[in-house]
Structure formats: C-alpha cells, structure tokens
A and B are shown apart, each in its own frame.
Chain A
Amino acid sequence: MTLREDLERLAERGDPFGADHVYAAAAEDAKWHTLPLQEEASGSSPSRRRRWAITGAAAAIALVAAVGIGALVGARHERTPVAATGTAPNDDATVGPAPTATSETATTTVRTPSADDPPVLAGDGPYPVAWGDKSGWIDSADPPVDSEGIPAPIPVNDEHGNQIGWWVGQLGWVDLETMSDPNYDYRAEYRELNAIAMAAQARRG
C-alpha cells in the first residue's frame, strides 16, 4: 500500500458527526468564551477578577495553544514567562506563533522546535500562562475535576519557582490573597459564571 493510500485511509478514520452538529457545538462553546458583561445577573459592576474571567476568555483559548507551543520551546531549565496575550485579531495564539517568537527573543538558551522533537504530552509541564498583565508557569495543564466537573486550582509559579497565584480552568488567574480570603470560594464563582452563561444561552434560544 502506498503512502498516499495510507494517508487517505487515515483521513477517513472515525465516523464524522457532520458539519451541522460540529458547527452547533462550536457556536455554543464560542458563546461561553464570549459571554458579554451585560449578561451579569446583578446590577452591580462585576469585580475586577470576574471581569477578567469574562472578558479574558480569549486568553484562556490562547493558553490552550500556549501550553503546547510553550512545551515545545523546551525552556525547562531557564524559565521565561510568555508575555500577556492581547485582544487584537492577529494576537490569537491559537493561530499565530507569538509565544514561540517571544520566548526565542527572551533568552539565548531557548531552542527552536524541530521535527525531531518528541510529541508534547498533556501533563508534561511547565507551561506558560498569561492573564492580563500577569504571567507565570503551571506544571500541569490537565487538573483533576471534582464530581461537579469543577477543575482543581493549579499553582502558578514565577521563573524562580515561587508561587505567585492560582490558575482555575474557565476562571483563569486567581490572586493568592483572593484565594486565601475565607469569604472567597472559587467553586461558587465557577458555578455562578456557569449559571450566567447558561442563562445567556437560554435567552438567545
């Protein structure tokens, strides 16, 4: 069997769900990522942390890409945080090579990914994370979730390995002082954000 025939077989693997199902599911995911501020249930202005969580959802998408690209960069020994992601259309790390380029200019010890690199595996950190004007590293990109599906917080470290914050899936960066506040419950915030998203989705039909 020729290489072309093998590739054709690989291209046909699995059972396609179909364009309409995939589009509907992606559009729903995108709604979650782009939840507008006015969908807040209360009339009060959202907290800075929550505002970051809502408007910074694109940064969470960028994190997903940065995780893989950052691991490929391979700066294991001399950690260099990746710069914060912006909001311009071309800043999307899902598409652009920005994290790699940034890291390459930050230190001379960083090497360029090559075809000979081993595949990147989930959990094989550290991974760069960026949120607003903050940046740091996490050691796992695949945190355990509880029975409600809420991900456990992951420590965010600086380039020296000192913890500078927490990372919670969907919520993003949580400051150390916020997390240690006895009145703060990240699970409650996660549930609240999820409820807002669901309500917004229901209103849109």
Chain B
Amino acid sequence: VGDASGNAGTGASDAEVFRSIYPLLRRFAAVTASQDVDPDDLVQEALAATLARGPLSGLDHPAAYLRRCIINLEANHRRSRSRARTRERLSGIPAIEHPIYPSDLDDLAALEPRQRAILYLFEVEGWPFARIAELLDEDEATVRRRATTARRQLKLSIEEGTSR
C-alpha cells in the first residue's frame, strides 16, 4: 500500500506524476469508454485500483500501466456511480450528463473498446502496432487484425448510412 495509506510525501509525488499524464489518460479513456461511461470515471477507477496496489512512483511506466487498466476496466461496462458521487462531493461540481454524439461518432462508438483504442493509438498518437500490442498484451498480428476488422466495420457502417 503506497499513497493510499496516507503517505503524504509519496502522495505529493504521485499527484504530480498523475497530473503530468492525466491529459493523455483522459483522452485515451474518452476514446476507449462507451458513450454512457464518463471518461473521468474510468480514469479514476483505474487510478484507484493502482493506488490500492502501491504508489505511482513505484511503476516504471505509470501511463502505460494505467492505460492498460483503463482498457481492461472498460471491458466491464460498469458504471461507477459511487465514484461519481465521491468526486461530486469533493469538487462540489455535479456529475456531467452524457451527451448525444453525431452519427459519425456513433459509428466509432459501435466498435469494441479495444478496436477504438487501437485505432486511436495508431491514427492519433502514431504508435506502431508492435507497441500497441505490448500495451494490450496481445501479439502484433492480432492487433493488426483488430485494426483491419475495425476499419472494415467502419467502412460498412458509412456505406450503409450513405445508402439509406
């Protein structure tokens, strides 16, 4: 147990580590999470699970570790209402409503979370498939296949949308 047990020194250090990686984690969660899941909920859940194990400063690659937590947690599709309440109480800001997105984003949302994560890391962050495979603990061929399947699904949805 690291910072979660109340070690102030470690806590300050961990807060700084988290602050530096929060923007990229939040963006990753926003892409990976289902539309009915608040990306911050997912980031918070992954961070809480990690802090319960030990301090962030004890990890070689905290961003990669948390990203992997995020994608595994998203597979659960579990809304974290209690965490939203905790944050609401701490910040005084009410939990956000989940907006409705335009249809082109709906096509993306229809993909599996892992597919979205792969496309995002490849297309936006420019990761090679080998690095994505390492993050997801899959082999490179599987990641490439997932990306191909995702593109095929997107193409199909767009074509169907155009023909309607």
Contacts and interface: CB of A to CB of B under 8 A. Distances in A.
Contact of A115 (B4, B83, B114): B114
- Majority SS at the chain B contact face: helix
Interface in B96-120: 96, 98-99, 101, 104-105, 108-109, 112-116, 119-120
Give the top 4 A-B pairs by smallest Cβ distance, nearest first.
Answer: A30-B4, A68-B75, A29-B48, A19-B22
Contacts of A34: 1, 4-5, 52
A53 to B, nearest CB: 15
Contacts, number: 196
Interface size class of B (residues with CB under 8 A): 35 or more
Interface of A: 1, 3-4, 6-31, 33-34, 36, 57-58, 61, 64-65, 67-69, 72, 89, 92-97, 115-117, 119-122, 141-142, 149, 204
Interface of B: 1, 3-6, 11, 14-15, 18-19, 22-23, 26-28, 30-31, 34, 38-40, 43-54, 65, 68-69, 72-79, 82-83, 86-87, 90-91, 93, 96, 98-99, 101, 104-105, 108-109, 112-116, 119-120, 123-124, 137, 145-146, 149-151, 154
A97 B90 CA distance: 33
Contact of B44 (A26, A58, A115): A26
A54 to B, nearest CB: 12
B75 A7 contact: no
7 contacts: A13-B39, A14-B39, A17-B91, A19-B15, A65-B72, A67-B76, A94-B73
Contacts of B73: 64-65, 68, 94
A11 B4 contact: no
Nearest to A24: B90
Contacts of B104: 1, 6
- Majority SS at the chain A contact face: helix
B31 A115 contact: no
Nearest to A4: B123
Contacts of B15: 19-20, 23
Nearest to A127: B76
Contacts of B146: 115
B52 A30 contact: yes
B3 A27 contact: yes
A115 B149 contact: yes
B128 to A, nearest CB: 16
B38 A14 contact: yes
Given A11-B30, A31-B5, A22 B72 contact: no
A120 B37 CA distance: 14
Given A23-B47, A120-B77, A29 B83 contact: yes
Given A121-B77, A122-B78, 8 more contacts: A7-B119, A10-B31, A16-B39, A31-B5, A33-B49, A95-B68, A119-B34, A120-B76
A22 B108 contact: no
Given A20-B15, A29-B48, A15 B96 contact: yes
Contacts of B68: 95
